[in-house]
A and B are shown apart, each in its own frame.
Chain A
Amino acid sequence: MEYFLIIISAIFVNNIVLAQFLGICPFLGVSNKLSTATGMSMAVCFVITLATLVTYLINQYLLVPFQLEFLQTIAFILVIAALVQMVEIVLKKVSPALYQALGIFLPLITTNCAVLGVAMTVVTKEFTFGGTSHLLNLGEALVYAFATSLGYGLAMVIFAGIREHLSLNDVPKAFKGVPIALISVGILALAFMGFSGMVK
């Protein structure tokens, strides 16, 4: 039940893009076409889950025991940067097909604040379930990370669909491109606000 709550809340109620404002740059950057949006979402999904696993363990077994929590920011971003590079290298060797699909998005992911954001959130924020609140354990953290990235993918794919239609419309010059896109995201966010209070 707890896992179910985490999943619903991470995908819909606290959608990472539409409610938490994380990962907006790539969200606006690669949502022009549905195919690239799908590719990016999959790459993000993969990296977020993996990065959360690694940073969670590093925090738990290295930083906390030595009281080095203040190095969280720097340690996490280094780990994420190294991880992304490694994923790129491994993917190239092991699965060229997957690399073809995700490869070009990987370098962009290091500076995707969604990855660092989720990694920091799971080790610092207390989550509330049925009247009590506590920090997530490893399993919950992974579920949260995965569900969050699914939420990212969902927002991305919906938005790419909207944008493909937008590009066919006659929009006033000053609105062209990002402004009209932002206004559409706003309306999408308004729709997602309908989910707030659903998990309680």
Chain B
Amino acid sequence: MVTSSGTVKKRSPIAQTAGDRIFGFFNGVFIVLITVLTLYPLIYVLSASISSPSAVVSGRMWLWPVDLTWEGYDRIMQNQEIWLGYRNTILYVVIQIAVSLLTTLPAAYALTIKPLPGRKVLVFLFSVTMFFSGGMIPLYVINRNLGLVNTLWAVVLPSATSMWYIILTRTFYQSTIPLELEEASQIDGCSPFGTFLRVVMPLSGAIIAVMALYFGVGRWNSYFGEMIFFRDRNLYSLQLFLREILIIAQFSEENTSNADAITMAEQIRISSIIKYATMIVATIPLIAAYPFIQRYFVKGVLIGSIKG
């Protein structure tokens, strides 16, 4: 053992065996293939949003933009309320992430404590909510009784957490944080809160990042609750404004009995690129945010904490 590990040590980590090289090669090929497969439709969507609609439909546009036009984006940007929507949505996302992490992370940790009395009952009762829900009207009544209607809490609080995410977080804690570490901190005189804050939290940057992403994206893409609970236009989120733009574009398709038939016909033409453009307007920030999440997927956090 000692000798073999000694020889390995000399060769590692830079030198690779032939098998590792072959593996690396095929792995590289796989990655390239996947990347091309995903990249193509992404470029297609981007190009479609700035190409003439007829070029897209007739297949003349298949990769790069053809007959460049900014009409789709023009139409969206004409709407001053888009910026209000961005502002509101970002605010809601931030608040949602804060509320959800405060609800989810401690609960998931408490549920890892095996001897906790009532743990199984709670997990069971929480899990039921993944499958059964009372529907919109009772939820509306509760929100109204709590005085939440027409405030951001009417959409943030009802999605404060979800059992699915609590279970994922719990599983992550269980599989990555060594029990000895927690026990050691308890022996050192740390309270459960202290253990959670000083031992568990610093080690779970990755899952916190993932949960923030899940809850944040959920809020970002949501529109149904916003549609029902917001009366005041100043509260509207980006998705609501974008849906309005799409409805107006479709309206031109249906609306025919009017004086100004010529203008309407023009709008039918661009309604399909508005579809692509709104999607991109709604998505770019989510993609831009991803690198910030990626930072937390770095190995070696654990080692530092053990030594420290």
A binds B: no
Binding site for B on A (CB under 8 A): none
Binding site for A on B (CB under 8 A): none
